[in-house]
Chain A
């Protein structure tokens, strides 16, 4: 599709044009074609994507903290190196995603500001503390596992830049998930204290991981629109079920239990049935009343504020040198005149 004029001006000049553009957009999405930055798109589609991609990026950035918490304390040099590389990958994912959001006409600086002022969210899972080394395993296995289940369908998202970012991200995420599984496997087959540490971590992260898929379908008002736009491919509950079906056999391999007395295999449907989720907890954490909400935000804001003089100096230096570069080849006389 070729470039289209901006939606407001186009619609003002030619009544009826917007309907035509919308029809073409709908046909394009229905035909599974990719929407690209210069294509016309409905304002609601643009806004939904900006919010979703930005919040995804914020989650990567805030998500560095729970794991960053153990870099200096990792129990072997091999694990320390893997953890450092993983947290670096997360920062990289944040950058890809901010870049994808910027193709929709917003600035990374503005998006960070929305994060720092609490006007945009990040994934609620990162408001839980990492209390033991085994949490590095539980986060990799469960949290990254849930993220992959959510994100693999996004690789086919109707918006091209987001879909392409997700392809790169999902490759690294599935690697992280395997690393998390391996951490837990080592612990579960280690000393009794290590096994207990692994079980405790799984007990704490299991339910929050299930909440990562969002509210039940009945309470998810924007889902239908997102599905129609090709941003979302499966419902929250479908993805959650897919995740449970993937994780239960893996837990059996690990020799760890999942903290749900109602978890059972349902022969008829071919799915693992699981117990009721305490949605009041998710509501509370999303409202800011989780164990680490205040701490995570404070760390992010502090890093940004305390780094301001560094960023300002880099800008000042770049400005000085841009000036020099223009002046020096032509000679000082030209610039003085």
Chain B
């Protein structure tokens, strides 16, 4: 459910960009990435609902849970900020998803393995898109360099949480992937991009934690009501 929530919340954030992007091609690219993530979220949440066995489908899980029940990492709820913050968040998260899905392809759970096999292609495209922009902003104009570095500083406090040991994972060692095991490959990729982009790896003094346990930042409590209000206003309706 945590992975589904990650994709769902980030898709919601990217959806906020539509009609606000720096160029029309980016409206399309961000919409495309949001759509891929939404597709991943739908598969994962539907599956989570089946496994849970309480009759909750993707919409019940999306629209009828409160923030204390969401299991996403805090990174994905970070507000969009400027384009550099969004691209920093995309680089961090898509590089994480690339490693995660590549590892999940070998999961003992056939549904998760199949989802990962499909999604790994999507997230490679997402990672490439973010990489290209981090290079262009980091190694472009001086203003963009400053903004890109600031974007990295904004999102780096959320990095450690991605690799924190997840209790659900300890219970299902063959099915899930230990996030800590993904970190070396993630670090090699991301630090390589930052070096090419002439950017520094931030060293934050505080770190987010607790998203997987439903302990979020204050941002999620604003994102969910916007997403959920219409669905909640018409209980039981079909759309």
Alpha-carbon separation in the docked complex, A317 to B62 (Å): 40
Interface of A (DSSP majority class)? helix
Contacts of A303 in B (CB 8 A): 19-22
How many CB-defined contacts (below 8 Å) exist between A and B?
143
The list of the 3 closest CB pairs from A to B, nearest first, reads A307-B22, A313-B140, A313-B144
**Contact string against A for B residues 111-153, beta-carbon threshold 8 Å, 1 for contact and 0 otherwise:** 0000000000000000000000001110111011101000000
Minimal beta-carbon separation of A217 from chain B (angstroms): 35
B→A interface (CB under 8 Å): 8, 12, 15-16, 18-28, 31-32, 34-35, 38-39, 41-42, 45, 58-59, 62-63, 82-83, 135-137, 139-141, 143-145, 147, 226-227, 229-231, 234, 236-239
Could you pull out 17 A-B pairs where Cβ atoms are within 8 angstroms? A64-B19, A64-B27, A71-B16, A73-B229, A75-B230, A76-B59, A77-B8, A77-B38, A77-B58, A94-B24, A300-B19, A302-B20, A307-B26, A310-B23, A310-B83, A310-B144, A313-B143
For residue A313, which residues in chain B have a CB less than 8 angstroms away from its CB?
Answer: 136-137, 140-141, 143-145
Collect the chain A residues with CB atoms within 8 Å of residue B230's CB: 73-75, 133
Q: Is A84's CB under 8 angstroms from B231's CB?
A: no
Show the binding face of A for B, using Cβ within 8 Å: 61, 64-65, 68, 71-81, 84-85, 87-88, 91-92, 94-95, 133, 183, 186-187, 190-191, 193-194, 299-300, 302-304, 306-318, 320
Q: In the complex, given contacts A84-B34, A310-B26, A316-B140, what are 8 additional A-B residue pairs having Cβ atoms less than 8 angstroms apart?
A: A77-B41, A81-B38, A81-B42, A91-B28, A190-B237, A306-B20, A313-B140, A316-B141
Q: Are A72 and B16 in contact (CB under 8 A)?
A: yes
Given A88-B28, A306-B22, A307-B23; A80-B38 close (CB under 8 Å)? yes
Give the residue name and chain of the A residue nearest to B230 (CB): A75
